[in-house]
Amino acid sequence: MPYVNIKVTNEGVTRQQKQRLVSGVNHLLKEVLNKDPKSTFVIIDEVELDNWGIGFDLVSDIRKSLD
Amino acid sequence: MPYVNIKVTNEGVTRQQKQRLVSGVNHLLKEVLNKDPKSTFVIIDEVELDNWGIGFDLVSDIRKSLD
Amino acid sequence: MPYVNIKVTNEGVTRQQKQRLVSGVNHLLKEVLNKDPKSTFVIIDEVELDNWGIGFDLVSDIRKSLD
Amino acid sequence: MPYVNIKVTNEGVTRQQKQRLVSGVNHLLKEVLNKDPKSTFVIIDEVELDNWGIGFDLVSDIRKSLD
Amino acid sequence: MPYVNIKVTNEGVTRQQKQRLVSGVNHLLKEVLNKDPKSTFVIIDEVELDNWGIGFDLVSDIRKSLD
Amino acid sequence: MPYVNIKVTNEGVTRQQKQRLVSGVNHLLKEVLNKDPKSTFVIIDEVELDNWGIGFDLVSDIRKSLD
């Protein structure tokens, strides 16, 4: 039953990392709430740096300021 | 007033199918709750197979295992 | 696989109406995209009238202006 | 057309504040993107402090540690 | 703490406009609810015209009918 | 930066379990993507059984059928 949505910035998340996230979330829900993985959805959204703001800044600008 | 979000896997949903989904949802909301289609939003998200997990697996792997 | 989220105002949606919405959405997804109902989630959110704005107004005020 | 969802902690947001948020978002979208307020939805979700985590902590605990 | 999601149609929103939206939302939340910009997320989703329906129509068709 | 939304049915999730979910998600994101917990939001939504459908049925009915 659980539905989990993970939003991260679009910075090259690999397929293998997505697999680990999906698997990790399922283990967590099974362990904490005894949820059945067979009916657990996990959706990963990869958001462009220009489309995510923290405070007054776009993440793309925050990243540049750290370079 | 209703806002409806439909998330499906990105597997070639055609424009015509999107039209039928939008129209069908509006008919349903009109029929069941008498909602005014003019102020009903339907947003369709098409999610990559690598970005949708069911249980411990990515849908892309589930699809491969069925091929 | 589909995940559908329906947001409507909290104005007394009955259990039976929720059942019809869930069932209707599943029939629609089965018919248009041949999706398997067994793995289709529909979540209904009922939003307070003070928490939904259209344009510059809260729906609660819009409703009052129509009374 | 815009749909805006604002999630804040459930800490006594008044009706008048909700009105100002809805109105402010509409002015912003009108000014920046010339969007028509008549077809702009704003939905405010008030999330319990126990249901919002930042880092390893629930906001309820973060609040207590600041008291 | 606030999390704000802005969904607009994918019709060429510029980087500068995204910056103004993010900044404007932060000013609004600071002014109305005294929220700290440093922990305010704003995510902008740009939705294809074929993926957004109003009433029985896709926005892409609505746009064409206005041309 | 990550934003994670966990939707589960409203069936008595305890505060302690919410804490374990929030903490577990942060550990996972730190381990897999090296994300900074200080700027990771996790929001847990508890959905009424009448408001969650799987296939043609409300979860409340599914639960009853299993009693």
Report how many domains make up chain C: 1
B13-26 burial, b if ≥16 CB within 10 A, otherwise e?
beeeebbebbbbbb
- Nearest residue to B3 via CA among D43, C30, E16: D43
B2 in active site: yes
Question: Using alpha carbons only, what angle is made at residue E53 by residues E50 and E57, rounded to the nearest 5 degrees?
Answer: 90
pLDDT of residue F23: 98
In the predicted structure, residue D67 carries a pLDDT above the cut 80: no
The residues with which C4 forms a beta bridge, in sequence order, are B6, C42
Q: Report the first-to-last Cα separation within chain B, whole angstroms.
A: 42
Report the residue from D7, D51, D55 with minimal CB separation from F18.
D51
pLDDT of residue C53: 98
* Residue numbers in chain A where pLDDT is lower than 70: none
CATH number, position C62: 3.30.429.10
In angstroms, the CA D33 to CA D26 distance is 10
Q: Output the furthest CA–CA distance in chain F (Å, rounded).
A: 44
The domain containing residue B28 runs over which residues? 3-66
Catalytic residue among D1, D2, D3, D60: D2
What contacts E20, CB < 8 A, 6 or more positions away? D28, D32
Size of interface C-D (CB pairs under 8 A): 46
In angstroms, the CA F1 to CA C50 distance is 30
Q: H or E element: which one contains F30?
A: helix F15-33
The verdict on B26 touching E (C-beta cutoff 8 Å) is yes
pLDDT of residue A46: 98
The verdict on B5 touching A (C-beta cutoff 8 Å) is no
| Residue that the structure tokens 């919405």 belong to | C21
In angstroms, the CA C22 to CA F47 distance is 14
In the predicted structure, residue C36 carries a pLDDT above the cut 90: yes
Q: Which of the four pLDDT bands, split at 50, 70 and 90, describes residue E66?
A: confident
Tens digit of each residue's pLDDT (9 = 90 or more) over E14-58: 999 999 999 999 999 999 999 999 999 999 999 999 999 999 999
pLDDT of residue F66: 84
* CB-CB neighbours of F49 under 10 Å: 17
- Nearest residue to A22 via CA among A9, A5, A8: A5
DSSP A53: E
The verdict on A57 touching E (C-beta cutoff 8 Å) is yes
Backbone angles phi and psi of F59, in degrees to 5? -60, -35
In angstroms, the CA F56 to CA F43 distance is 28
In angstroms, the CA D66 to CA B64 distance is 51
Answer whether E28 sits within 8 Å of D29, measured CB to CB. Answer: no
Asked whether the beta carbons of F28 and D56 are under 8 A apart, the reply is no
A55 burial (CB, 10 Å; 0-12 / 13-18 / 19+) is middle
Q: Report the first-to-last Cα separation within chain A, whole angstroms.
A: 42
pLDDT of residue F1: 82
The residues with which D42 forms a beta bridge, in sequence order, are C53, D4
- What tokens appear for A47 in the block? 């958001």
* Most D CBs within 10 Å, among C45, C54, C57, C61, to test the D interface: C54
Give percent of chain B above pLDDT 90. Answer: 94
What contacts E64, CB < 8 A, 6 or more positions away? none
**DSSP symbols for B24-49:** HHHHHHHHHH---GGG-EEEEEEE-G
- What tokens appear for C42 in the block? 């529909």
Q: Which of the four pLDDT bands, split at 50, 70 and 90, describes residue D55?
A: very high
The residues with which A4 forms a beta bridge, in sequence order, are A42, F6
Tens digit of each residue's pLDDT (9 = 90 or more) over F2-56: 999 999 999 999 999 999 999 999 999 999 999 999 999 999 999 999 999 999 9
The verdict on D42 touching E (C-beta cutoff 8 Å) is no
**Å from B58 to nearest chain E CA?**
23
- What tokens appear for F36 in the block? 């900074």
